[in-house]
Amino acid sequence: MRRVLSLRHAFWPTRKLPLPGSEGQKQILKTLEADVWPVLAISILSLSGLSALLYARRSKEEPAIKARLFSRDLEYLCEGGSNLLCRAKPDAYILHFKKDASGLTHNDFDRQRRMQQFLCKVFPQLCISIPKILSIPASDIRTLDAHLLAARSKAVRKQRLDIGSDIRVQVLQKEDLFNACLSLEICPGCGLQEDEKMPSRNSMAYAVSHGHRMAGDLNLQLFSGAAVECSAAIAAALEAHYFHAQFFAGDGAYLGAMDAKRGHGVQDALQGADLSIPQLSQMAGRALQPILPPLRRLQAMACGDSEKYAPQLLQKLQEAPEAGSVLDELKDAVGNPERLEMALGKELQRARGATDAAVVEQQEREALKLLSLSKWKARQVEEAKCWLLRFLVGRAAFQAKVLFNFMQESRHERTNQSLAEQRFLRASELLPDEGWTTGWWVRATLVGMELNIDEIERSSSELETLIAHYTEVASAS
């Protein structure tokens, strides 16, 4: 007889992976769930994004995990047109339910999982959250549906949880990325200096919007590769409301940024956690280090003159008789992990041994080669589509977000073990010379990267425009 596990016990694997560079604790758990957006926006979760970019090739789908669902352990969060989210109260995960047959399909759930798994080939596993697919008895879903009616608004109660015709229903289990004392989300921006005479594009954009230059280039400082410099950039950015930094309370409530309007809520939360901005920035700067190099490598695919070549390639592609419906195919490829792997797999492997500048030059060189041909055959059509997909990946990397969670250690060993299973790292190991780190844990998760076809046209002259406006601001100041 096959054993069926309770949700409360079934989903934290115990197989550990080696963690290089740590003498005190060389073990981490391969426990990675999916991106969960801030609770205020979680009802409109996007299923595409750069998590749609990278796909792990497998011979067959992984089986769903059989589990039971107990309504008393679940708390209603929110819902959108086709999806409903609940939080498991004793544990640190969120369950994603379909509301009707026209919403998400089981294949959508599996695609999310596989996309995140392939992300681990580009980014460290410790920074990627991978969902699990659960197989729940339909009777448990019916019970939960009735249990949640009181918590749902009257306007949406008519739309019940989707059970379908099977005896079991698939549910997506995601990591609760706001299960922490305090959370901070930042957008690192572009880490490349695309014009040797100018700062990074984000630094120029800040100067243009504020009418004055900053003392330093926080984006280049953040991506410098030195944890101390990175931490200092985060601290300066929080004070200047840079990197689009946003704070969230322990229950996921939105606190805003450290500005004059909403700064008191952030300061109160920091005082309640007994944390200062320099201390928080030091933990974040250390935890961020594994994410930045591969993120900048992806950005190199859309830097420099590539943004000028992208709309030209798209136009020529649409004129090629062999191209077919180009826009429709590109839109489909954005959400198709197999197609994206074909377009990006070899290029990403080749880029691993090259410098960021070499990747920029290679992308520009390939675009010029295609544009120089008077007529495209089927091979050139395919190369152009792959080039545009790589460009879209790079543009998505410009807008990537990183969510930091800060958690205080518990007296209970089981709770601390659970933190390690949830990808948290001890701050005392990241910052061994700082006495205040005892008892603090930190986690960094890559979130919020979405591929958008509109970026091809939107970005066509972005860098040139920024340079022109920045030159005016620099001259005036």
- Rounded distance between C-alpha atoms, residue 38 and residue 269, angstroms: 17
pLDDT at 351: 63
Contacts of 306 (CB under 8 A, 6+ apart): 360, 363, 364, 367, 391, 394
Give whole-number Cα distances, 236 to 120, 240, 442, in Å: 30, 6, 20
pLDDT at 261: 57
pLDDT at 403: 93
pLDDT at 21: 40
Give whole-number Cα distances, 173 to 137, 141, 304, in Å: 15, 14, 40
- CA torsion sign, 362 to 368 to 370 to 373? negative
- Rounded distance between C-alpha atoms, residue 252 and residue 173, angstroms: 18
- Rounded distance between C-alpha atoms, residue 143 and residue 377, angstroms: 58
Contact at 8 Å (CB) between 33 and 130?
yes
Question: Three-state secondary structure along 73-107?
Answer: HEEEEEECCCEEEEEECCCCEEEEEECCCCCCCHH
**How does DSSP classify residue 162?**
P
Q: What is the pLDDT along the chain (477 residues), one digit of tens a residue?
A: 433 333 333 333 333 333 334 333 333 323 323 333 333 233 323 323 333 333 333 334 567 888 888 888 888 888 877 788 888 876 778 888 888 655 445 567 777 777 777 777 788 888 988 888 888 888 888 888 888 888 888 777 777 887 766 788 888 888 888 878 899 999 999 999 888 888 898 999 988 988 888 778 999 999 999 999 999 999 998 888 888 888 888 777 788 777 655 557 788 888 888 888 999 999 999 999 999 999 999 999 999 899 999 999 998 888 877 666 777 778 777 767 677 777 777 666 666 677 888 889 999 999 999 999 988 888 998 899 889 988 998 898 999 999 999 988 876 666 778 888 889 999 999 998 888 988 899 999 998 777 788 888 888 788 888 889 889 888 886
Contact at 8 Å (CB) between 8 and 134?
no
- Rounded distance between C-alpha atoms, residue 264 and residue 256, angstroms: 10
Q: Which residue type, as a one-letter code, is found at position 47?
A: L
pLDDT at 3: 35
Q: Please provide the size of the chain in residues.
A: 477
pLDDT at 39: 31
Domains (ranges, CATH) in the chain? 5-175 (3.30.200), 182-290+401-447 (no CATH), 295-398+452-476 (no CATH)
- Rounded distance between C-alpha atoms, residue 422 and residue 32, angstroms: 7
pLDDT at 235: 92
- Rounded distance between C-alpha atoms, residue 5 and residue 19, angstroms: 30
Secondary structure element (H or E) that encloses residue 408, with its range: strand 401-408
Residue 458, SS3? helix
- Rounded distance between C-alpha atoms, residue 447 and residue 399, angstroms: 10
Q: Where are the beta strands (DSSP E) in 130-208?
A: 132-137, 168-175, 182-186
Secondary structure element (H or E) that encloses residue 421, with its range: helix 413-421
- Rounded distance between C-alpha atoms, residue 253 and residue 247, angstroms: 9
pTM, 2 dp? 0.78
**How does DSSP classify residue 402?**
E
pLDDT at 348: 67
Output the six-digit token pair for 292: 């930045």
Give whole-number Cα distances, 328 to 211, 318, 324, 334, in Å: 41, 11, 9, 10
CA angle 9, 10, 14 (to 5 degrees): 95
- Rounded distance between C-alpha atoms, residue 235 and residue 213, angstroms: 18
Residue 239, SS3? helix
What percentage of the chain's residues is helix, strand, coil (to nearest 5)?
45, 15, 40
Contact at 8 Å (CB) between 94 and 88?
yes
pLDDT at 224: 93
70-90 in b/e form (b: 16+ CB < 10 A) is eeeebebbbbeeebbbbbbee
